[in-house]
Amino acid sequence: MAGPSNASSSSTYTSNTRSKKIKSKSKLDFANPCDCGYPSRIWTSTTKDNPGKEFRVCPNSTDNPEIKCKFWEWVNEEDTVNKKKRDEVRAQSCEVRAQSCEVRIAIMDHDFNIYKKKTDEEFDKIIRKISSLKTYVIVLFMLFVVSLLRA
């Protein structure tokens, strides 16, 4: 996944907690899109409660106040790294499960072929036995008819 871009823009805005205008730069974050699907913008907080802490917002919420995308979250580098690791582990886990399924399918296919071969052999054996029994019945019937004709 791509990390935050070096693309930046400049914006002047007024915070509700400050009366002075602050000029700051934001970075586009392609790896963490907002709810609209656009790359989120990473801003740095300048409030006294969270100085220097980064947060993500929808680019539309700063560029166009009429669009009301409510996407907003704190950026936590550790969470971002952990998310990437989790995504990698999930991808590997999915790959392992897919391979496991392929192995199970191959084993089932092999077992099915063995079972089919055994049942085919048993079926052929039963057919041969039925044929020999038919022959015995025919011979016994002929002996019965011959014994009736002699009597």
H or E element at residue 111:
helix 77-150
Range of the domain at 58: 4-75
Is position 81 within any domain? no
CA–CA dist 38, 27 (Å, integer): 13
Contacts of 43 (CB under 8 A, 6+ apart): 24, 26, 54, 55, 56, 57, 62
Would you say residue 60 has pLDDT above 90? no
Establish if 117 belongs to a structural domain: no
> Residue 17: pLDDT above 60?
no
Mean pLDDT of the chain: 80
Is residue 18, in this structure, part of any structural domain at all? yes
Rounded distance, CA 143 to CA 42, Å?
A: 102
Residue 1: what pLDDT?
A: 42
Q: Does any domain span residue 151? A: no
123 found inside a domain: no
For the chain, the straight-line distance linking the first and the last C-alpha, in angstroms and rounded, comes to 99
Angle at 108 between CA 104 and CA 114, to 5 degrees: 145
The pLDDT value given to residue 30: 84
Q: Which amino acid makes up residue 101?
A: C
Q: Is residue 91 part of a domain?
A: no
Q: Is residue 54 part of a domain?
A: yes
For the segment 117-140, what is each residue's pLDDT rounded down to a tens digit? 999 999 999 999 999 999 999 999
Q: Which comes out higher in pLDDT, residue 114 or 33?
A: 114
68 within some domain? yes
Rounded Cα distance between 106 and 93, Å, is 20
If one counts the domains in the chain, the total is 1
The model carries a pTM of 0.38
